[in-house]
Structure 1
Amino acid sequence: MACIQILLDRRRRSSCLVLLAVFQAVAGQIHYSVPEELQEGSFVGDISQDLGLDMKQLLPGGVQIITEGRTQYFALNFQNGHLYINERLDREEICGRLLTCILKLEILIQEQLKVYTVEIEIEDINDNAPAFQVETLQLNIPESTPVGSRFLLPDAQDPDLGVNALQSYQISPNRHFFLDVQMTASGAKYAELVLEKSMDREGRRFDMPDLILTASDGGNPVKSGTAHIKVSVEDANDNAPVFSESVYKVTTAENIPVNSLLVAVHATDLDEGINSEITYAFRQVSEKASNSFHLDPRTGEVRVRQEIDFEECALYEMEVQARDGRGLSGRANILLAITDVNDNAPEIAVTSLTNAVSEDCPEGTIIALLKVIDRDSEDNGLVTCSIFGNPPFHLEKTFDNYYSLVTGRALDREDVSNYNVTVIATDKGNPPLSTTTTIQLKILDKNDNPPTFKKKSYITSITENTSAGASVLTLKATDPDWEMNGKITYSITEGEMSYSFFSSCLSINSETGVIYVLRSFDYEEIQEIKFLVKAQDGGSPPLSSNVSVTLFILDQNDNAPQILYPSPPTDGSTGIELAPRSSEPGYLVTKVVAVDADSGQNAWLSYQLIKATEPGLFTLGLHTGEIRTARFFLEKDALKQSLVVLVKDNGQPPMSVSVTVTVVLADSIPDMLTDLGTISAPISLESDLTFYLVTAVAFVSCLFFTFLLVLLVLRLRKWRHSQLCDTGSVNLNGVPVSQFVGIDGVRAFLQTYCHEFSLSSGSRKSQIFFPIESCTNTLTGHQASQISGPLFTANDSNINKEGQSCKQVCFAFTKL
Structure 2
Amino acid sequence: LETGAGFPFAINNSTGWIVVASELDREAVDFYSFGVEAQDQGNPPMASSASVSVTVLDVNDNSPEFTQREYGARLNEDAAVGTSVLTVSAIDRDANSVITYQISSGNTRNRFSITSQSGGGLISLALPLDYKLERQYLLTIAASDGTRQDTAQVVVNVTDANTHRPVFQSSHYTVNVNEDRPVGTTVVVISATDEDTGENARITYLMEDSIPQFRIAAETGAVTTQMELDYEDQVSYTLAITARDNGIPQKSDTTYLEILVSDVNDNAPQFLRDSYQGSIYEDVPTFTSVLQVSATDRDSGLNGRVFYTFQGGDDGDGDFIIESTSGIIRTLRRLDRENVPLYTLRAFAVDKGVPAKRTPVEIQVTVLDVNDNPPVFERDEFDIFVEENSPIGLVVARITATDPDEGTNAQIMYQIVEGNIPEVFQLDIFSGELTALADLDYESKAEYVMVVQATSAPLVSRATVHVRLRDVNDNSPQLKNFEILFNNYITNRSGSFPGGVIGRIPAHDPDISDSLTYTFEQGNELNLVLLDPRSGDLRLSPALDNNRPLEAVMRVSVSDGVHSATAQCTLRVTVITDEMLSNSITLRLADMSQERFLSPLLSRFLEGVAAVLATPRHRVVLFNIQTDTDVGSARILNVSLSVLLPASGHGARFFSSEELQERLYLNRSLLAAISAQRVLPFDDNICLREPCENYMRCVSVLQFDSSAPFLASDTILFRPIHPLMGGRGSPPPPFWGSRGCPSPWARCRVPAGPHAGERCELSARGGRCAPGVCRNGGTCLNLLVGGFRCQCPPGHYEKPFCTMSTRSFPPRSFLTFRGLRQRFHFTLALT
Shared fold per TM-score greater than 0.5: no
Larger radius of gyration: 2
TM-score normalised by length of structure 1: 0.30
TM-score normalised by length of structure 2: 0.29
